[in-house]
Amino acid sequence: MARVWNFSAGPAALPETVLRQAQAELLDWRGQGASVMELSHRGKPFMQLAAEIDRDIRELAAIPDDYAILFLQGGATQHFAQIPMNLAAEGDSADYLVSGHWSDKAAHEAAPYVNVRVVASSAGDDYRTLPEASDLDPRAAYLHYTPNETIHGVEFSDIPAAPEGVPLVADMSSDIFSQPLDVSRFGLVYAGAQKNLGPSGVVLMIIRRDLLDRATRPMANIFRYAGQAERDSMLNTPNTWGWYLAGLTVKWLLEQGGLAAIGERNRAKAELLYRTIDGSDGYYRNDVDVAARSRMNVRFNLHDAALDALFLQESEAAGMIGLKGHRVLGGMRASLYNAVPLDAVEALVAFMRDFAQRHG
């Protein structure tokens, strides 16, 4: 079977050249006579690879030396809990902006470890708008937000301003490296790799080093980001295969021209799809406030939900997968992450126009 156009929300499409390189190196990686996943993480070849990936990420996103880059496990969800463990002491509070499913979950999972203050929420608008932050606490341990909400299809186009001295923490699981990133605006950025960066099972974290020194609470070393930073993310056996694939994807991003080029491409992809939806005379509909529309996850509904099953069946027959919307919201969702080419979006909009004509 040929490769399909993959619009899955996550795990999601990887660049074909990355998969081909991984395939070519599967039996013999860098002359080792073994796959990278069969080698010790403490051996020189893998240690060198880890250092190389660190350098590539620093180059890709212009990350300064006062930030550590960690490769962790547990998914973004585990870090919803581990972030307050590391950044907040007993009795501290932290501010949360709630703009959809994932930021809501982040706030709930943090609650056993920090006094969570939801300072703004767009739940009352069914998450079709962005929450407006006011009354931020200048003594908060941190301010947390989710720049792109994968399920609700809403995205912040501006970085919220945290009060002086309050580190901004961002869950970038579904928008990491999809456009230029000014890391100096953040105290901590984290992302499950499986949307924009690689396979599941790896979390990339970029953390300002002074935050590693916060005295918070007693906990096992395996939970301490400082412990991971001291040991180059190798306190225990890391997901070497996922780390390697994320590294290949970072190299691919550099070859594409870096974040400015990929950002331009992502903007054009989303614009084409939204233009098609808005220009369909109501056949397709996206209910998100225009200023809050996500470039990464485009939600849409057909004018008649009775056509949903047919739309999915025919789109799959036309070589497109992953278009079924999240079960909470129904309808459709096209995820347009880095590895989804413009050709895929062109194929999708051609299919949508054709479908609307045939089932008018």
Ligand X SMILES: *Cc1c(COP(=O)(O)O)cnc(C)c1O
Catalytic residue positions?
A: 102, 171, 195
Considering the complex, state which of residue 190 and residue 311 has its C-beta at the smaller distance from ligand X.
Answer: 190
Q: Is the dihedral of CA 54, 252, 12, 306 positive or negative?
A: positive
CB 345 within 8 A of CB 17: no
| In the complex, least distance from residue 202 CB atom to ligand X, rounded to whole angstroms | 9
Beta bridge partners of 155: 148
| In the complex, least distance from residue 198 CB atom to ligand X, rounded to whole angstroms | 11
CB 145 within 8 A of CB 188: no
| In the complex, least distance from residue 272 CB atom to ligand X, rounded to whole angstroms | 22
Alpha carbons 4 and 23: distance in angstroms, whole number: 18
| In the complex, least distance from residue 79 CB atom to ligand X, rounded to whole angstroms | 8
Alpha carbons 151 and 299: distance in angstroms, whole number: 8
| In the complex, least distance from residue 228 CB atom to ligand X, rounded to whole angstroms | 17
Considering the complex, state which of residue 9 and residue 63 has its C-beta at the smaller distance from ligand X.
Answer: 9
Strands 188-192 and 203-208: antiparallel
Considering the complex, state which of residue 35 and residue 73 has its C-beta at the smaller distance from ligand X.
Answer: 73
Residue with smallest beta-carbon separation from ligand X? 75
Look up tokens 């895929």; give the residue. 344
| In the complex, least distance from residue 173 CB atom to ligand X, rounded to whole angstroms | 3
Strands 188-192 and 332-335: unpaired
Alpha carbons 121 and 97: distance in angstroms, whole number: 6
End-to-end CA distance of the chain: give it in Å, rounded: 32
For 15, the token pair is 């660049």
In one-letter notation, the amino acid at residue 24 is: A
Please compute, for residue 52, the number of CA atoms within 13 A of its CA located in the half-sphere on the CB side: 15
Residue numbers at the binding site for ligand X (CB under 6 A): 10, 75-77, 102, 146, 150, 171, 173-174, 192, 195
Please, what is the angle between helix 16-24 and helix 240-255, to 10°? 130
Considering the complex, state which of residue 192 and residue 247 has its C-beta at the smaller distance from ligand X.
Answer: 192
